[in-house]
Structure 1
Amino acid sequence: MTTLSTPRGRQALAASIVFTVLATVITTVRIYTRAFLVKQMGADDYVILVSLAFSWVFFGLMVGEAYHGMGEHYALIPAAIYKTQMICFWASVPIYQTSLISTKMSILLQYKRVFSTPRMRLACWILIGFLGVYGTWTIVSAWANCVPLAKFWDPTIPGFCLDKKALWFSNSAIHIITDILILVYPMPVLKSLQLPRKQKFALMAVFALGGFVLITSVLRLKSLLVISNSTDPTYDNVGAAAWSAVECNVAIICACLPGTRAFLSRLLPHIFSTRSNGYRSKTTRPTRTGRSALTGNGNTQVLASVVGGRDKGYDHDHDLEALSPSGSSVTSYTKESKEAFAGIKVTTNVTQERTLHPKITINDDTESTKELVKKHSF
């Protein structure tokens, strides 16, 4: 088969290779973490594999475009090579849409699993339903852009085609809107977590990486504007093809990063691990005005603690260490918040302590005084 490659086409293909391989590596780390470290594969993990598979199909079609005249001026491309390029281009559009839509589905399924508040789950289901309807339309309209289909790569065939410019720009605008929604969804929940500031910022930064998807969507929109007004589409299609590959793979990378926390905690334990040499806890104690320092009657402690998982990344719950002194009668009321990440558990302990001691008579006996101090020192 006769082929025709150009430097511009190979540059776009190189960008696609880099980001597709990077997305594959990050997805592999995520699946390894979820399947072998955390041992809790979910629907979001399987959906991201579907998205990665379509990303590789898109890469294969882009190879066909790059070696069949993409980046070359239309007037210099033989008819047979041009037809092959247009067929690859026609097939790549719905494949790109399928990869991107399934990635967003995976992110929302991950939100639904991690942030299990009723309002968050409802919001996720609403957006999942919208993406299902919109995704079906955008994929079908991309496949059946022209009737008959051959009119897409052979304009001389009788028939009609949808307005490509209107279709491309409306789809791109909806993608940008959904990117913004997905980006801001988890921030209020993450902000309210009772975590150490460093860990909270680290988690928010991981989720905020989804902003790169928004940036690539905007840059792709700019490249679509160029090709939609072009009189030499085979030459000007390079930018749109390259940014499409970057966008769908950056989306996969950003979707996978939160699922790699247990793996990252091994590499960067001071940032991503939920504990350091034991459990971390922040304790708030009320004043003991008007109470004896020895008896401690009616003493109430409010313990707000963050209980971290093991460094291996397991999602098992862990018990707090005993914090009450011996000889005390302790009643604990524990309210457990929702799990923000696998292996992270936020716990608030309200402890009411009542300790009764017999009446002690203080005398001048030195040994008795020493014994008293020894018994009632904490």
Structure 2
Amino acid sequence: MDRREALACLADDPDDVYNRRMFGLVPTTIVLVLSIVTYGLRIYCRRKTGQGVKWDDILMGIGTVISFEPAICEYLLLANGLGHHICHVPADQSKRFAVISFALQRANQPALACIKLSILLFYLRIFSSERWLRWAAYANMAYTICWAISTWIVNLTVCTPIAFYYDHTIPGGKCKNQVISGTANGALSLLGDVCILVLPLPVIWKLKINTRRKIALCGVFLLGCL
């Protein structure tokens, strides 16, 4: 047991393990099922209307498949002590827990990047007549790719050597401040999300329809902020 685990044992023992574990199990399962169903409906509608599968559909599918990895890791974490007090988790499970936590973070950026790029390709397809929007979408795509690669590398190398992330018995190992890197990653991701969400709004507002419909359309495109 390292120093962090020893200090954690001084904390109060959680008295409601079942609810704590359900808090991880239920949302993960709901989101996983919804992502599969919504993507399936998307492809079904494409084929039903005879439009065929586009590149934005393919990228969304890739992002959906990659996102299965964090969900699987969440289930494995639950099987290895998630929700239990650290003092009640056997040493071998604690090691597996750390390895699974490390693996969980490897898929976040690739999955999000595919989903964001899919949305931008969708914009390029339906707003192709707007030159400024095309350039803005390309710029956002470049930003998204750079963000995904850089943050993936930073997260991978936050500890030196890399294995020190899940094995603190390695002599001479050290980790950078993960709070700072995590906050920076979240802020950069949020910036890209905001740019993607607001990108089509000026085009929608120029449409020759009444204000109520404009607001409704803007609301549909802004659903992504949820």
Under TM normalisation by the shorter chain, which class is it? 0.7 to 0.9
Residue matched to 1:60? 72
Q: 2:165 aligns with which of 145, 149, 152?
A: 152
CA 1:66–1:164 in 2, change beyond 3 Å: closer, same or farther? same
1:163 correspondence with 2:177: yes
For residues 123 and 35 of structure 1, the distance between their equivalents in structure 2, rounded to whole angstroms, comes to 30
- Contact persistence 1:6–1:69 (CA under 8 A): no
Structural RMSD (CA): 1.8
1:106 is displaced (CA, Å) by 0.9
1:156 is displaced (CA, Å) by 2.1
1:35 correspondence with 2:44: no
- Contact persistence 2:147–2:189 (CA under 8 A): no
Residue deviations 1:181-232 (CA, integer Å, cap 9, x gap): 11111111011112355544432221010221xxxxxxxxxxxxxxxxxxxx
TM-score scaled by length of structure 1 = 0.52
For residues 75 and 84 of structure 1, the distance between their equivalents in structure 2, rounded to whole angstroms, comes to 15
Q: Which runs of 5+ in 2 are unaligned?
A: 1-16
1:10 is displaced (CA, Å) by 2.9
- Contact persistence 1:145–1:162 (CA under 8 A): yes
- Larger mean CA deviation between 152-161 and 115-124 belongs to 152-161
Residue matched to 1:85? 97
For residues 45 and 219 of structure 2, the distance between their equivalents in structure 1, rounded to whole angstroms, comes to 20
For residues 87 and 197 of structure 1, the distance between their equivalents in structure 2, rounded to whole angstroms, comes to 53
Residue deviations 1:212-269 (CA, integer Å, cap 9, x gap): 1xxxxxxxxxxxxxxxxxxxxxxxxxxxxxxxxxxxxxxxxxxxxxxxxxxxxxxxxx
Residue matched to 2:134? 121
Which structure: greater helix fraction? Answer: 2
Which structure: greater strand fraction? Answer: 1
For residues 202 and 92 of structure 2, the distance between their equivalents in structure 1, rounded to whole angstroms, comes to 55
For residues 40 and 213 of structure 2, the distance between their equivalents in structure 1, rounded to whole angstroms, comes to 24
1:112 is displaced (CA, Å) by 1.3
- Contact persistence 2:77–2:100 (CA under 8 A): yes
Q: 2:35 aligns with which of 6, 23, 28?
A: 23
Paired residue type of 1:168: G
For residues 139 and 83 of structure 2, the distance between their equivalents in structure 1, rounded to whole angstroms, comes to 41
For residues 133 and 160 of structure 2, the distance between their equivalents in structure 1, rounded to whole angstroms, comes to 42
Residue matched to 2:63? 51
TM-score scaled by length of structure 2 = 0.85
- Contact persistence 2:120–2:196 (CA under 8 A): yes
Matches within 5 A, 1:101-116: 101-116=113-128
For residues 87 and 127 of structure 1, the distance between their equivalents in structure 2, rounded to whole angstroms, comes to 33
Residue deviations 1:29-80 (CA, integer Å, cap 9, x gap): 1111223314142211100001100111111011011111112222221111
Paired residue type of 1:93: Q
Larger Rg, first or second structure (1 or 2) = 1
- Contact persistence 2:80–2:96 (CA under 8 A): yes
Q: Secondary structure at the residue paired with 1:209? A: helix
- Contact persistence 1:94–1:138 (CA under 8 A): no
Paired residue type of 2:127: F
For residues 7 and 81 of structure 1, the distance between their equivalents in structure 2, rounded to whole angstroms, comes to 21
Paired residue type of 1:104: K
For residues 19 and 97 of structure 2, the distance between their equivalents in structure 1, rounded to whole angstroms, comes to 16
Residue matched to 2:201? 187
Residue matched to 2:224? 210
For residues 38 and 85 of structure 1, the distance between their equivalents in structure 2, rounded to whole angstroms, comes to 47
Q: Percent identity?
A: 28
Residue matched to 1:94? 106
1:72 correspondence with 2:84: yes
Residue matched to 2:14? none
CA 1:74–1:138 in 2, change beyond 3 Å: closer, same or farther? same
CA 1:40–1:204 in 2, change beyond 3 Å: closer, same or farther? farther
- Contact persistence 2:32–2:68 (CA under 8 A): yes
Q: Secondary structure at the residue paired with 2:53? A: coil
CA 1:201–1:40 in 2, change beyond 3 Å: closer, same or farther? farther
1:166 is displaced (CA, Å) by 1.2
For residues 6 and 101 of structure 1, the distance between their equivalents in structure 2, rounded to whole angstroms, comes to 34
Q: Secondary structure at the residue paired with 1:157? A: coil
For residues 79 and 170 of structure 1, the distance between their equivalents in structure 2, rounded to whole angstroms, comes to 32
